[in-house]
Every structure is written in C-alpha cells, then in structure tokens.
Amino acid sequence: MADLIDRFQRAAAAAKQLAEKPDNETLLQLYSLYKQGAEGDVSGEKPSFFDFVATAKYGAWEALLGRSREQAMQQYVDLVETLDGNSG
C-alpha cells in the first residue's frame, strides 16, 4: 500500500507537468479519480446547479461512489502514465 501511495503522489505531481493539457472529459476523470483516491467517497454539499464547473466535478466524483481508494489510486496512476507517455 505504501508503494501505491508513493506512486499516486508522484502521479499527482506529474499530472501538473503534462506537456499537453488534457481535454475536459479527461480532466474530470483525473479530478474524480484523485479525489476518490485521496479522500474516498464523495462528501460535502452538492454545488449549486448554476456553478457548472463545480457541479461537473462533484458529479464525476459522485459517479465513483463505492470504488475503493486503492482502486482509484491505481486507475489515477495508470491514466497519468498514459497521458505522460510513461510506462512505469
């Protein structure tokens, strides 16, 4: 588990340094997997309908409800490695 947490943290740093900015759908996927891996199931109040960005982020995270933190961390690492062109 400690190895996965380390890889997750390194992937989070790498995600901020990507050569190309991912499309919005991929950004939401990165956001939701990161939040699920870091915090677990969605929490807090659902944002106002009129705050479109916050609502999209909340919805993407909420869609991962029940996914284990470990599974989300691994999927986040895999996604960042794909985007970064890094195989490991």
3-state SS of 13-71?
HHHCCCCCCCCHHHHHHHHHHHHHHHHCCCCCCCCCCCCHHHHHHHHHHHCCCCCCHHH
**pLDDT for the residue 1:** 84
Domain hosting 75: range is: 2-84
Cβ within 8 Å of residue 70, ≥6 positions away: 1, 4, 37
Helices 69-84 and 2-15, packing angle to 10 deg: 40
- Minimal CA–CA distance to 39: which of 74, 75, 68? 68
Q: Is the pLDDT of residue 28 over 90?
A: yes
Q: Is the pLDDT of residue 21 over 80?
A: yes
Domains held by the chain: number = 1
Structure confidence by residue, pLDDT tens digits, 32-80: 999 999 999 999 999 998 999 999 999 999 999 999 999 999 999 999 9
CATH number at residue 57: 1.20.80.10
